[in-house]
Amino acid sequence: MGVFSDSSGHEQVVFCEHRPSGLRAIIALHSTALGPGLGGTRFYPYPTEEDALADVLRLSRAMSYKNACAGLDHGGGKAVIIGDPLTDKTEALLRAYGRFVQSLNGRYYTAADVGTYVADMDVISRECDFVTGRSPAEGGAGDSAVLTAYGVFQGMRAAAEHVWGSPSLAGRRVGIAGVGKVGHHLVGHLLDDGATVVVADVSDVAVQRVQSSYDGVDSVEVAQLLDEPMDIYSPCALHDALTDETVPRLRAAIVCGAANNQLAHDGIEKLLGDRGVLYAPDFVVNAGGVIQVGDEVRGYSEERARAKTALIFDTTKAVLATAASAGITPGTAAEQVAEHRMADVGQLRSLHLR
Ligand SMILES: NC(=O)c1ccc[n+]([C@@H]2O[C@H](COP(=O)([O-])OP(=O)(O)OC[C@H]3O[C@@H](n4cnc5c(N)ncnc54)[C@H](O)[C@@H]3O)[C@@H](O)[C@H]2O)c1
């Protein structure tokens, strides 16, 4: 990939290497039009450097759109650390990474993502002032998955109202792919609302954890989930859940989940629309976590962050209504909301303030 040939217009991409600790990381800032970039650090055993770069570029762009739609004063940033978090994560590596984030002097705030946890943010914060998702003991907001799951639930309720005329999920069957940090909490919200849940995860431990926390949760093999009868399909694992192969198998009327970048390519949303499946855009419904950690920058108030996350219901409803009336896909409608806000609010910077 040519360094400047990617068409998505990233502002800055930083390659970080520290051989003594084995750190190899890439930090991507897509846009700081609305404020410093904010997005998590993914620790993942990418097969190649190109895969890592492609992922961080895609994820940081999605953060710009997510933060803009969520009404945050933050731009889009994301980082990836190349390696296996189970074997390669050490204090020295995390602290080395923290020093690179610090060197950006506040242009990028980091947080947890796949493969990183609250405890890791505490370690990184020993070298760096621009870390969110730290433990409450360190002044942080804790695990961002809590409000991410709450926000996805609100997005689902909005999608249900759009499709079935009522936001209640009582009696609906929801299939969740991936019951890690977010999927686990989501199961609780759905059961509380009277839905039934079927889960699938490549990790038996994750499935067992859910089934020991909640009664009456069905589980199937990952490969079988799409063939299950369900009203809502909720991708909560990794990217590209919706592909040319998986969409034709879908039996759900709604897709709404936490995973970032659920659509394998731009044409997938049309495929979903053609099959009468409503897609609630991932970057709209999964913003609860970034709302939570963004609040930490101001001094965390759970009440304020939860209230702001509840607004994902209204944002999702508005996006779905706009898409329906304009004859465009929900993803396009949501991108337009984000782009307008980045352009309008971003222009305020032209008014100089000391
Ligand atoms: N944690 C957050 O606050 C947050 C915020 C926004 C978006 N997200 C996104 O939501 C998704 C889940 O995040 P998380 O924090 O729960 O991560 P996690 O790593 O805790 O959980 C992911 C789960 O998915 C499982 N999994 C992996 N591949 C799978 C597959 N092919 N099929 C089924 N299960 C599979 C894993 O075993 C794991 O249990 C990620 O895409 C993440 O980027 C997370």
Contact 66/337 with Cβ under 8 angstroms? no
Other residues' Cβ atoms within 10 Å of the Cβ of residue 90: 14
CA torsion, points 5, 272, 65, 344, in degrees to nearest 10? 100
State the average pLDDT over residues 222-230.
95
Residue 5 has what pLDDT?
66
Contact 254/277 with Cβ under 8 angstroms? yes
Alpha-carbon distance of 97 to 21, in angstroms, equals 10
CA 334 to chain centre: 15
Residue range 237-264, pLDDT digits in tens: 988 999 999 999 999 999 999 999 899 9
Residue 23: which of 171, 129, 124, 157 has the closest Cα? 124
CA dist 64 to 87, 340, 342, Å?
Answer: 31, 12, 9
- What's the burial of 343, exposed, middle or buried (CB within 10 Å: 0-12/13-18/19+)? exposed
345 CA distance to ligand 1 middle (Å): 32
Contacts of 311 (CB under 8 A, 6+ apart): 71, 154
Could you tell me the pLDDT band of residue 182, with boundaries at 50, 70 and 90? very high
192 CA distance to ligand 1 middle (Å): 22
Inform me whether the pLDDT recorded for 3 exceeds 80: no
Residue 238 has what pLDDT?
85
250 membership: H or E segment, kind and range: none
Residue 81 has what pLDDT?
98
113 CA distance to ligand 1 middle (Å): 8
State the average pLDDT over residues 6-17.
88
Q: Over pLDDT 90: what percentage of the chain?
A: 92
Contact 77/108 with Cβ under 8 angstroms? yes
Q: Which amino acid is at 272?
A: L
State the average pLDDT over residues 14-32.
97
Which atom in ligand 1 lies closest to the alpha carbon of residue 235? 11
Inform me whether the pLDDT recorded for 58 exceeds 80: yes
Which atom in ligand 1 lies closest to the alpha carbon of residue 144? 3
Alpha-carbon distance of 33 to 37, in angstroms, equals 9
CA 91 to chain centre: 25
Contact 261/241 with Cβ under 8 angstroms? no
Inform me whether the pLDDT recorded for 7 exceeds 80: no
Residue 9 has what pLDDT?
86
| Pair of tokens at residue 78 | 């994301």
Residue 307: which of 319, 291, 284, 283 has the closest Cα? 291
Contact 143/116 with Cβ under 8 angstroms? no
Residue 215 has what pLDDT?
96
**What average pLDDT does the structure give for the chain?**
95
Residue range 257-285, pLDDT digits in tens: 999 989 999 899 999 999 999 999 999 99
State the average pLDDT over residues 37-63.
96
State the average pLDDT over residues 160-174.
98
Question: Angle at CA 104, nearest 5°, toward 97 and 16?
Answer: 40
Contact 228/198 with Cβ under 8 angstroms? yes
State the average pLDDT over residues 202-231.
97
The residue whose C-alpha atom lies closest to atom 19 belonging to ligand 1 is 114
Pocket test for ligand 1, best of 209, 236, 285 (most atoms within 8 A of CB): 236
State the average pLDDT over residues 141-149.
93
**Helix, strand, or coil (residue 353):** coil
Inform me whether the pLDDT recorded for 6 exceeds 80: no
Inform me whether the pLDDT recorded for 310 exceeds 80: yes
Residue 1 has what pLDDT?
57
Could you tell me the pLDDT band of residue 353, with boundaries at 50, 70 and 90? confident
- For residue 181, indicate whether it is catalytic: no
Is 202 close to ligand 1, i.e. is its CB under 6 Å away? yes
Residue 354 has what pLDDT?
84
Could you tell me the pLDDT band of residue 2, with boundaries at 50, 70 and 90? low
